Structure 1
Amino acid sequence: MRISVLTPEKAYAIVLQTDGKVVVAGSTYSVNEDFVALRLNVDGSLDATFGNNGVANVGPTTQVAKAVCIGADGRIYLTGYAWWGLSPHTPVVCMLPNGALDPSFSGNGHVIVSFALGSDEGRAIMVQPNGRVVVAGYAANDLRSTSEISLFRLGDNALPDPEFGTNGRVTTTAEERMDVAYALAIQPDGRTLLAGRSSTNGIGEMALVRHSGNGNRDVFFGTAGRVRLDIGIGDAGANALAVRSDGRILVGGYANNGNDRDIAIAGLLTNGALDTAFGTGGMVIAAFGAGDDVAQAMRLDASGRLLVAGSSFIGSNVDMIIARFDEDGALDPAFGTGGWTGLDVGNDEIAYAMALQSDGRIIAAGATGTVQDRSVLVVRLDADGALDPSFGDAGVAVLDMGTGDHVALAVVVDAQQRIVVTGRTSDGDNENVLIARLATDGTLDPTFGNGGWVSIGSPASDESANSILVRPDGTVLVCGYIRTDTIEDFLLVRVQPNGALDPGFFQDGLVTVDIGEGDDRAYAMALQQDGGLVVGGSAVVSGTDDFAIIRFAYPSIVMNADAVDALTIPLSVAPDPCMDQATAVFDLPKEERITLQLLDARGAVVRVFLSNELRPQGRSVEELGLAGLAAGRYQLVLRSKEYGVCRGLIKQ
């Protein structure tokens, strides 16, 4: 359905009423741009009981609606920007359910709120249960060279609420921080947790972010979905996550004590507050040697005890350590010696990953040797922390993969209790993804790859894997990064149970995703209950590292042979780079319903061009309206029930 009000018209926001009718807000142009709201019936026709045959507009100044919401009483609120004098400021318009301006709201149905910086704009609006209106957006100087997050609340009289902020207003300057996520967990309710390091000027903190099932930050977690933990003296960071069955969260990594690093573990309640029943005020600091101690991996055993794997500088070199903590954060004296086990085979040993077998035995994987000349190291411990003599050489397996540098960064136990590790292998000139499978006795499995392992990559690029999953059908998924020239992108690889690349997964078993304008790295992933795959890591956006999270829908992960041809669907965009208009061209293998969306560098949907619309077999051409979008890098995503393909797009 196409609706023409005046020429031109733009829609920026949409909201659904409780009766199923849809309110759309944006702008329309005659002499000036005006706020416009239109209401559609359930069948998509204009609602003649609203405004003028379904359309209500507000003038005469230049105004554009960017957000809309509906109050509990059915009144409709809009915000965006309105030119007032020489600068744009933030209006709030209130309409009655019939589309008429509400005279009880500021006397004429609208107000304009300004901030001291010079110009401002509203981008989101809501009505609190007490009827007060809250608007969020930004405030900038007149040159727009600096800006701040803006927030204001209107009182019962439609004026800025003096009980909120300063004269009803709050502005926040976001810090320029480097944020990298190293660990990911999916809670039983489907919410996704990321943990890593957030730093300013090289000094980091443990950081967590939680996203709701729709990908938005969970505002009920920490502060606006984020938690930062300032631990120790100086630098700190998180490498591992674990979630208890009751939703409580454990995050582990390191914190500086003024001389070196100690293992740091924090316990959090489901809302992101520190769990004071864990450790001291929610924190545990542990040191096993005289130098650096770092936690790299964590797992909860069947009894709810926390297992931690990592490294400690003991004596003259670095040793692998595995420790166990009771539910209250105390070291468990029944495990190893005084709660921990160390491993020294004559070199530097580090555990980067850990997994638990179904019988409670513990697998730790990492590397032994010196930098650029390391071997993959896998150890197995009994449940009490003693090395398992039935595995490898007295509990230790050092994998012989020839000369070069070989490191395991992730490990998983498959349904047959075989151990699968991934990481990277290097010959000094080129890095490739490494995947190896061990039999239950710790020897390389000759039925996998070439003598138990595979190296995946290209001489023209470097690749590394940081996380691994084994699906019920035995296929192995790994994620990490690919570096071409000086740019890194997310990399996903899937191999068949025999180690060969899986041709039913995207193109020849591999897919890369370009998120930001700089380096993108995937560090962790997890399968959701619906089969979708969530991948977390970091992406450079506007010059700094940000947490990055992407989701692959179930059909794109569980491709079968019949879907392989669909994955090669060409999706092109011209021109690229583009300005306010571009054209997408694609060829469909059959008539089907598709969705075409534009995602920004953070993965948020910023434009929907097609929503479950039927398109014929063969070539389709779609015009992409990009006006109003900021310059930058975007992803154009084409999806059906059977597949999903994406293409990068740069807007100037």
Structure 2
Amino acid sequence: MTTQESFNAGQLDPTFGNNGIVTIDLPNGMSRFPSIVTFGTGAALKIYFAGWLVTTTPYTYVVGRLNRDGTPDKAFGNDGLITGLFAGQSAVVRSMAIQPDGKIILFAEQNYGASFPCFARFDSDGTLDKSFGTDGYTVLEIELAPPAPASALDAKAPSSNSGASPFGVEILPDGKILAFKHYTFGGTGGGSIGLIIRLNAEGLLDTDFNQIGYIGVIHPDYLHTATVLSDIMVQADGKYLGCGAVGNYVDPASAMFVRYDTEGNLDTSFGTKGNGFVTIEAPASTGGIGVQRMVQQPNQRILGIGRANSQMGMMTSIEPDGTPNIQFNRGVPLITSLQDNAVTDWTGGAIQKDGKIVVVGTAGTVNGEADIVVARFIDEKFDPAFNNGMGWVSTHVEDGTESATGVALQDDGKILISAYTDSLGKALVLRYLA
């Protein structure tokens, strides 16, 4: 990192795109981009983004690749972009991951009906890998019933549309694929459960995981309300950690973590109640909290990133065994408001090599003017070396609501984020100095 970059930490990188911002030129206009990752080292590093087009019916996926300077990588797809349908299905892209061999896994869910999980795999040049699933695609017709007395969690019955975080697909060391989905039943009054899915390297359900390749996630104390699963990750010991919230149908009451072993069994050593779940109560006056994203901290601690019902950003840190990390904000959730009488929402995060926390999201008024925000913390305090002592920076691209949707750190420490503007439906990639 150069002295100039260090001095300007938090500023847009003038060597990237148009003064730090790349506007993705998409066919058919409006888009939503929820995911961004980096891959490779040194000169081979590329920037990937993924999302879907909302002006086409059915919705089509979009995957793109940029060079380090923000120009389209012409060697990828059609002038840097690939588009298509998941085996003819209209779907909303939720996440993507890059395999060690450079192949790309795209994860989505149908945006109508039962909202089945969908996967696709592409070669490193953007060509559909037809050895994966069925001609390159896997659409899982998994239907879950809401929990009820004397009914099995995996009983088959129609489910309604669902929501999911734009994160949460991971390539395991053996090439298998781990993902999650969130199911709701009967609108806002029918309950909510999560689903953890594992595919083998060929794109088929892995029956070594819970015998059927997936498992329902529901907190035993919230059988008939809401267990919201928002993200999943693999810990250093190979176990699977999920996060989200539990509570009523509209607003979460408490943040939630849950852990499973590699066979799909709840890890009863996680937390203090012996059921594999950890819940974290909201601080007074916040009305409830939920975790949208997790990142790995030093010493195998886990940082949960999300928001409070009071429309403020939230972070909470736990030890590997699920107990509170007292070195972060004395073991209680950190609630942050960047502007008076305005919304602050954290939508993604990353941990720098020095342990500093980078979070991204949006700040502004509800259904009005809101801008992209990037903040950096040292534990629970704003980093005074970021944005000339402020600790956070906002970026205004155009009028209306703008939000960061994903974040990744380059090998040189620079901060990449994906974002969108709501008024014109533009997809953006921005890069900040670190």
TM-score range (shorter-chain normalised) is: 0.7 to 0.9
Moved more, 287-296 or 543-552: 287-296
Q: Return closer, same or farther for 1:222/1:422 CA change in 2, 3 Å cut-off.
A: same
Displacement, 1:313?
4.6
Query: How far is 1:327 from its partner?
Result: 0.9
CA contact (8 A) 2:87 2:137 kept: no
Superposed CA offset, 1:421-471 (max 9, x none):
112223236403221111111122111133111222337513221210233
Q: Distance in 1 between matches of 2:323 and 2:63?
A: 39
Letter paired with 2:328: F
1:397 equivalent to 2:215? Answer yes
Task: Give the distance between the partners of 2:184 and 2:371, measured in 1 at CA.
Answer: 33
* One-letter amino acid matched to 1:298: M
Retained in 2: the 8 A contact 1:480–1:490?
yes
2:175 maps to amino acid: G
SS at match of 1:288: coil
When residues 548 and 211 of structure 1 are mapped into structure 2, their CA distance, relative to the original with a 3 A threshold, is: farther
Tell me what 1:457 maps to: 281
Contact 1:310–1:351, Cα closer than 8 Å, also in 2: no
The equivalent of 1:526 in structure 2 is 350
Q: Give a deviation string over 1:617-644, Cα, whole Å, max 9, x none.
A: xxxxxxxxxxxxxxxxxxxxxxxxxxxx
Whole-Å Cα distance in 1 between the matches of residues 67 and 89 of structure 2? 31
Trace 1:230-629 onto structure 2 (pairs within 5 A): 230-245=25-40, 246-288=44-86, 292-313=90-111, 316-346=113-143, 347=159, 348=161, 352=165, 353-370=168-185, 371-372=187-188, 373-401=191-219, 402-428=223-249, 430-431=251-252, 432-449=254-271, 450=273, 451-458=275-282, 460=285, 461-484=287-310, 488-517=311-340, 518-540=342-364, 544-553=369-378, 556=379, 599=390, 602=393
Farther-moved stretch of structure 1 (335-344 vs 226-235): 226-235
Contact 1:489 1:513 in 2 (8 A): yes
CA distance in 1, matches of 2:164, 2:129: 20
**For 1:399 and 1:456, how far apart are their aligned partners in 2?**
17
Change (3 A) 1:244 1:448: same
Distance apart, 1:501 and its partner CA: 2.2
Which residue of structure 2 aligns with residue 72 of structure 1? none
For residues 212 and 341 of structure 1, the distance between their equivalents in structure 2, rounded to whole angstroms, comes to 47
8 Å Cα contact 2:218/2:227 also seen in 1: no
Q: Counterpart in 2 of 1:216?
A: 11
Deviations 1:587-619 (A, max 9, x none): xxxxxxx99x85287269xxxxxxxxxxxxxxx
Q: Can you give the 5+ residue segments of structure 2 that lack an aligned partner in the other structure? A: 144-158, 396-434
Q: 1:216 to 1:493 in 2, by over 3 A?
A: same
- Partners of 2:125 and 2:261 lie apart in 1 by 36
> In structure 1, what is the equivalent of residue 414 of structure 2?
none
Contact 1:475 1:497 in 2 (8 A): yes
The letter of the residue matching 1:243 is T
Superposed displacement of residue 482, structure 1: 1.2
Q: Is this contact kept in 2: 1:467–1:478, CA < 8 A?
A: yes
Asked whether the 8 Å contact 2:251–2:309 carries over to 1, the reply is no
Aligned length: 355
Contact 1:515–1:602 (Cα < 8 Å) also in 2: no
Residue 256 of structure 1 deviates from its aligned partner by: 2.6
Query: Where does 1:32-43 land on structure 2 (aligned, <5 Å)?
Result: none
CA contact (8 A) 1:289 1:312 kept: no
- Equivalent AA in structure 2 for residue 534 of structure 1: V
Structure (1/2) with the larger strand percentage: 1
Matches within 5 A, 1:167-206: none
Contact 1:407-1:423 within 8 A present in 2 as well: yes
Normalised to the residue count of structure 1, the TM-score between the two structures is 0.51
For structure 1, the 5+ residue unaligned runs are: 1-188, 191-209, 558-566, 568-593, 605-652
Conserved 8 A contact 2:231-2:292: yes
Question: What does the per-residue CA deviation read over 1:530-575, in whole Å, with 9 as the maximum and x for residues that have no partner?
Answer: 121111111117952211111113xx27xxxxxxxxx9xxxxxxxx
Cα gap change, 1:392 to 1:351, in 2 (>3 Å): farther
Q: CA separation in 2, counterparts of 1:551 and 1:310?
A: 30
1:539–1:545 contact (8 Å) kept in structure 2: yes
Letter in 2 for 1:342: V
The percentage of aligned residue pairs carrying the same residue is: 23
CA contact 1:413–1:419 (8 Å) conserved in 2: yes
Supply the distance in 1 between the matched residues of 2:140 and 2:23 (Cα, whole angstroms). 33
RMSD of aligned residue pairs (Cα, Å): 2.9
Structure 2 CA distance for aligned equivalents of residues 422 and 212 of structure 1: 36
Q: Is the CA contact (8 Å cut-off) linking 1:279 and 1:328 kept in structure 2?
A: yes
CA contact (8 A) 1:444 1:452 kept: yes
* CA spacing shift, 1:447–1:333, aligned 2, 3 Å: same
CA separation of 1:211 and 1:472: change in aligned 2, threshold 3 A: closer
Q: How far does residue 367 in structure 1 lie from its aligned partner after superposition?
A: 1.4
Distance 1:603 1:284, change over 3 A: closer
Distance 1:603 1:259, change over 3 A: closer
AA paired with 2:393? Answer: R
The structural deviation recorded for 1:510 is: 1.8
Q: 5 Å matches for 1:4-83? A: none
Contact 1:415/1:472 (8 A) holds in 2: no
Task: Give the C-alpha shift of residue 350 in structure 1.
Answer: 6.3
Counterpart of 1:438, as a letter, is Y
Shift of 1:345: 1.8
How far does the alpha carbon of each residue in 1:233-291 deviate from its partner, in whole angstroms, 9 at most, with x for none? 34212101121212211100111343342111111111111111111111111212666
How far apart in 1 are the matches of 2:392 and 2:291?
Answer: 22
If asked which structure has higher relative contact order (CA below 8 Å, sep 6+), I would say 2
Moved over 6 A (4+): 210-213
